[in-house]
Amino acid sequence: MVIGGKREARRAYGLDELALAPGTVNIDPDDIEIGLRIGELDFAIPFLASAMDGAVDPRVAIEMSRLGGLAVLNGEGLQTRYADANAAIADIIAEPVESVIPLIQKMYREPVKPELIAKRVEEIKAGGGRAVLAFTPLGARNAQVAIEAGADAVVIATTVTTTEFRSSKGPSLDLARFCKECSVPVIIGNAVTYAGVTDLLEAGAACVLVGVGPGAACTTRRVLGLGVPQATAVADSAQARDDYFERTGRYVPIIADGGLRTGGDICKAIACGADGVMMGQPVASSHEAPGKGHHWGMATSSANLPRGTRVKVGHKATLEQILFGPATTDDGTLNFVGALKLGMGTAGAATIREMQQVELLIAPTLATEGKRDQFAQKVGQGA
């Protein structure tokens, strides 16, 4: 549509604006398959924990692996800068809101230490977990340290990762070469457009993270004005994946990363085309999370332009209860696996690929229709 002059703007949709139509057949949730494969790595559930210091440490990575998912550790975070990362996290938690951003910036100026990268990988592996660490393109040289220590995969991620980077200062990471030479699967993010995802797939990504700005602790959309509402971002990315698969025969999963707080959000993200989901805030609210009920984004520590903040998410439940229940609240924030399976069964989808084909509706009043009493009493959907 034209917004003025010759400038046009495309209508995009967030997950809150969509609804799923029920199917013509119901499927027993116990008969539904929701597994995820990244490279040669198989996961029983399609849930990833974001590489955020308030959400993931070696303990959470081990527990997430035990439960069938994957937790990504920040390879350039507090865990690889400080031997006693818990003390550093405690300082961030205790800092008043007015001064917490400068403190975070200061604490992340401590250099990343290769020996700590290796140590964290070894801790996760010793506990029986899958060890996957995330690095920025500038810090990708340290990915080899993680791999040599036994990492099962690596993540290369920034706010927006592209295969081409133009700078008078010289070239950036050659993603295609990195993927080709890497001995483990390379997960790359983030991207939100058809062209951007296609480039990452052609570079050799084993998985692509989709999402710019929807996360609970992210402020990119306000600071930079950048972002694509998550439903449209996932749908465009899924089309890029499918077209790439048709051309090459190589299927590469895409992961909806950010903005997912409830079972309904997860079901709609999969229906838009995602193969799995990555979550920060819900994991940060688990009893096991190192942030003790606090959560901050990966770009919060930027020395020149922070694009995240610290948010208090509280202690919701154990990680196992968040993922598998039983739910003791009515707001959709517990038993994500149960919600996904029941949602899929009600939509008539027995697999993730079938869920990606269910009928979608544009329904901006979905959350409020008939819910006047819930909003008045601040319960259920009105809480």
- What is the structure's pLDDT at 306? 77
Closest CA to 80 of 152, 133, 137: 133
CA–CA dist 380, 281 (Å, integer): 19
CA–CA dist 298, 114 (Å, integer): 19
Cα angle: 300, vertex 304, 306; to 5 degrees: 20
pTM: 0.95
- What is the structure's pLDDT at 371? 67
**Structure tokens given for 331:** 């707001």
Helix ranges (DSSP H) in 281-368:
281-284, 319-324, 336-347, 352-355
Q: Report the 10 Å Cβ neighbour count for 102.
A: 11
Q: Rounded to a whole number, what is the distance in angstroms from the first to the last CA of the chain? A: 35
- What is the structure's pLDDT at 299? 79
CA–CA dist 305, 303 (Å, integer): 6
Residue numbers in the chain where pLDDT is lower than 50: none
> For residues 24 and 253, is the Cβ–Cβ distance under 8 A?
no
Chain position carrying tokens 């995240």: 308
Q: Where are the domains of the chain?
A: 12-382
CATH class given for the domain over 12-382: alpha beta
CA–CA dist 358, 355 (Å, integer): 5
Residue 298's alpha-carbon distances to 82, 187, 370, in angstroms, are 16, 17, 39
**Structure tokens given for 332:** 């959709």
